[in-house]
């Protein structure tokens, strides 16, 4: 079998620069893609590893979470491990995330990024 490595998780967005900049602020990772590319924005940890990218989707439809049968469902969500839930939650909100109305677990906080992609904060 050939060697396969996950390079990036890719999110669709109507405005690549705005969502890419959100995740760059949230995660503190540097941009690794060409800054002149208006349709692609990739960030990755400085030491290497799996990155996060945003690509243009002109027909983007904001997902609804929790899902139902009448709206666009999320296709994936990000799980982010944090060392201080309160500090991480405050940081996420300062970056522009919104706490989701529905919180399914007491030890996890679900947030929505500026275009509605859910992500979860888990404390170590």
pLDDT digits (tens, 9 = 90+) for 55-94: 999 999 999 888 877 777 767 889 999 999 999 999 999 9
- The ranges of the chain annotated as CATH 3.10.180.10 are 66-124
Query: Which class would CATH give 66-124?
Result: alpha beta
CATH level 3 topology of 1-57: 3.30.720
Q: What percent of the chain has pLDDT over 70?
A: 99
Query: How confident is the model over 18-57, as pLDDT tens digits?
Result: 999 999 999 999 999 887 888 999 999 999 999 999 999 9
How far apart CA 48 and CA 78 sit, in angstroms, is: 18
CA distance 88 to 66: 22
Gap between the Cα atoms of 83 and 87, Å rounded? 9
Those residues with Cβ within 8 angstroms of residue 22's Cβ, 6 or more apart along the chain or in another chain: 95, 96, 97, 113, 114
pTM here is 0.91
pLDDT of the residue at 20:
96
The answer to whether the CB of 39 falls within 8 A of the CB of 55 is yes
């Amino acid at each position: 079998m050939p060697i396969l490595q996950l390079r990036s998780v890719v999110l669709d967005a109507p405005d690549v620069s705005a969502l890419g900049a959100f995740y760059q602020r949230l995660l503190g990772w540097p941009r690794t893609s060409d800054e002149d590319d208006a349709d692609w924005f990739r960030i990755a940890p400085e030491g290497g590893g799996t990155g996060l990218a945003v690509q243009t989707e002109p027909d983007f439809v904001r997902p609804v979470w929790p899902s139902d049968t009448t709206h666009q469902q999320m296709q994936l969500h990000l799980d982010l491990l944090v060392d201080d839930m309160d500090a991480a939650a405050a940081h996420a909100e300062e970056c522009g995330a919104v706490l989701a109305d529905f919180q399914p677990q007491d030890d996890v906080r679900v947030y929505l990024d500026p275009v509605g992609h859910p992500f979860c904060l888990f404390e170590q």
